[in-house]
Structure 1
Amino acid sequence: MNTAYVHGYNPRENIRLQDQATTLVDLLHSDTTFPVGSRVLEAGCGVGAQTVTLAKNSPGASIVSVDISEHSVEQAELKIRAAGLANVRFQQGDILQLPFASESFDHVFVCFVLEHLKEPGTALQKLKSYLRPGGTITVIEGDHGSAYFHPDSDAAQAAIQCQVELQSRAGGNALIGRSLYPLLVAAGYRDVWVSPRMVYADSSKPELVDGFTKNTFTAMIEGVRQSAVEKGIIDPAMFDKGIEDLYRTTEPDGTFCYTFFKGMGKA
């Protein structure tokens, strides 16, 4: 799988991913459960931020979680061990070249992975080959073009666009959420269904202001500053103003919206 993880592999990113998973668990996973005895493939588990929720929601399922990064797999194993969960097995591997037999899983789960791939459609087709007939896939992706906020800010939008541009240059697509339906249909899945999951944060929802606006979204954008400046995408002063304005949306009179997309289909 020829791709680059634009957010980087570092302790701060690990913390951001965990904040994201914890904050959004109900929004994204209240309807993510798998039957007792089913075999589930989590493709692209990263540091296990979503794996813990999968394992807790479906204690009777057998989950195999894979990621291309050996370090991420090690971090994910530590999370599962700390949570006392025993229904997950980890394996390092490229999701385009996994050593599993065809039709060997009942369900596939993919979260925040397709956005980083040069050929997400090819990945979806390959993952379909691991599903038994009638098996299901669940895909969750964000869409940075869905971010809007008050007070509005051209500088903040420019800072967000830096992340979109960097991900595009790395071969990914930070706007992929809006494309889930056609991607799944083109990959051959049946009965495809996509639902938007909006995060809306204002001062009446302090847990979302801290967990999502500050510690997930703004932290993600802030993390690309060096790369964006070095590649000449933005002036440093403009970027810093954009981050300042994103934090401004977390004040008592500010608001922030962002939409995730959750898609499902059958093999």
Structure 2
Amino acid sequence: MGGREEVMDRLAGCSLDLCTGPLSRHGEGMKTNTAYVHGYSPQEARRLGDQADTLAALLHAGTAYAAGSRVLEVGCGVGAQTVHLARNSPGARITAIDRSAESLAQARSYVTAQEPGADVEWHTADLHHLPFDTAAFDHVFACFVLEHLPDPDHALAALRRVLRPGGTLTVIEGDHGSVLLHPDSIHAHEVIGHQVRLQAAAGGNALLGRALQPLLTGAGFDQVVVRPRTAYADATRPALVDGLTRKTFIAMVEAVRDEALSTGLTTAADWDRGIADLRLTADEGGTFHYTFFKAVGVNP
């Protein structure tokens, strides 16, 4: 990110109101650098793998492509979702792209180890400048990608170009405004809000899930259907408490601590109090709720 003054300019308009303000307009009018707010550390790679494995049944249910189908996965990252795409659609011909060559190298190794028979081609490419012919794919899959873009509508136009008429687009996004906690804590919600603000300043929108239907419809897709996929964790679901609450969500928020402090969003004491309260939701007697949104549209 830029200097402190520039960053504070970006953050100034980021209201904690989850329904209005720059966040609900994908950062419109804000200076952005389109950085991946979670970073590319080994810890983040592990978090993405934990997230994908924990949520595979929830997010990938109903997504299976016929053998021989040409499937484009955009923003594949370290291959965490690619493994589940390949596992659910044996025989599909998957093309996975990411702008990070380092992430693609990790993805290739990970998928080869997990699904050695998967038919996957790997390309370093920018989603806005896809190196594929028009109508080259039968299906497009994008999971947790649009939330990091300042112009998701333009990205969807690029995806429509490479999708054949009658082909499907599947988009999965979260929405940090859907978080419900017990014990509830304003301090925990404040640290979540800091992550939302930082993602907005980087050009993204951590509240994008709620907007998928109008977003895809506005991009020209037909028959758009959005289904909420609710994740709920309590002591009776220890795998979800560990995989979702601790290793996915809390780990994601904790990762922006240094940036939240350096940009003046919070103090160390306030941050630590909020994280401590957030961790209580993963203890005995705590509960955590989050809603993902899965949208499917057809290219007319």
TM-score with structure 1 length normalisation? 0.98
Q: 1:242 to 1:85 in 2, by over 3 A?
A: farther
Q: Which residue of 1 aligns with 2:153?
A: 121
SS in 1 for 2:283: coil
Q: In 2, distance between residues paired with 1:3 and 1:85? A: 35
- In the other structure, the counterpart of 2:43 is 12
Q: Distance in 2 between matches of 1:85 and 1:64?
A: 14
Aligned partner of 1:177 in structure 2 is: 209
What's the CA shift for 1:60?
1.1
User: 55, 59, 63: which is aligned to 2:94?
Assistant: 63
Deviations 1:152-208 (A, max 9, x none): 001100000011000000010000000000100000000000000011000000000
- Structure 2 distance, partners of 1:3, 1:230, is 19
Q: Distance in 1 between matches of 2:80 and 2:204?
A: 21
Do residues 3 (structure 1) and 34 (structure 2) align? Answer: yes
What is the Cα deviation at residue 86 of structure 1?
Answer: 3.0
Of residues 15-24 and 232-241 in structure 1, the stretch that sits farther from structure 2 once superposed is 232-241
* Contact 2:130–2:158, Cα closer than 8 Å, also in 1: no
What is the match of residue 246 of structure 1?
Answer: 278
In the other structure, the counterpart of 2:13 is: none
Question: How far is the alpha carbon of 1:54 from its aligned partner?
Answer: 0.3
Aligned letter for 2:165?
Answer: P
- From 56, 62, 78, the equivalent of 1:31 is 62
Instruction: Kindly report the root-mean-square deviation, in angstroms, between the aligned alpha carbons of the 2 structures.
Output: 1.0
Matches of 2:149 and 2:119, distance apart in 1: 28
The secondary structure found in structure 1 opposite 2:187 is helix
CA offset digits 1:202-248 (Å, max 9, x no partner): 00000000000000000000000000010011121111111111111
Q: Hey, what's the Cα distance between the residues in 1 that align with 2:35 and 2:231?
A: 27
Tell me if structure 2 keeps the 8 A contact 1:56–1:85.
Answer: no
SS of residue matched to 2:117: coil
Cα deviation 1:110-143 (Å, max 9, x = unaligned): 0000000010011011101101110000000000
Contact 1:146–1:257 under 8 Å retained in 2: yes
Q: Distance in 2 between matches of 1:85 and 1:48?
A: 15
Structure 1 unaligned blocks of 5 or more: none
> What secondary structure does 2:105 align onto?
helix
Q: Does structure 1 conserve the Cα–Cα contact (< 8 Å) formed by 2:65 and 2:92? A: yes
Q: Does 1:213 align with 2:245?
A: yes
Match of 2:121 among 69, 79, 89: 89
Partner of 1:45: 76
- Residues in 1 aligned to 2:274 and 2:157: alpha-carbon distance in whole angstroms: 39
Report runs of 4+ in structure 1 exceeding 4 Å deviation: none
Q: Distance in 1 between matches of 2:127 and 2:186?
A: 38
Q: Which runs of 5 or more residues in structure 2 are unaligned?
A: 1-32
Give the residue type in structure 1 aligned to 2:121: R
Is residue 145 of structure 1 aligned with residue 180 of structure 2? no
Partner of 2:107 in structure 1?
A: 76
State the alpha-carbon separation in 2 of the partners of residues 86 and 58 from structure 1: 9
Residue type at the aligned position of 1:64: T
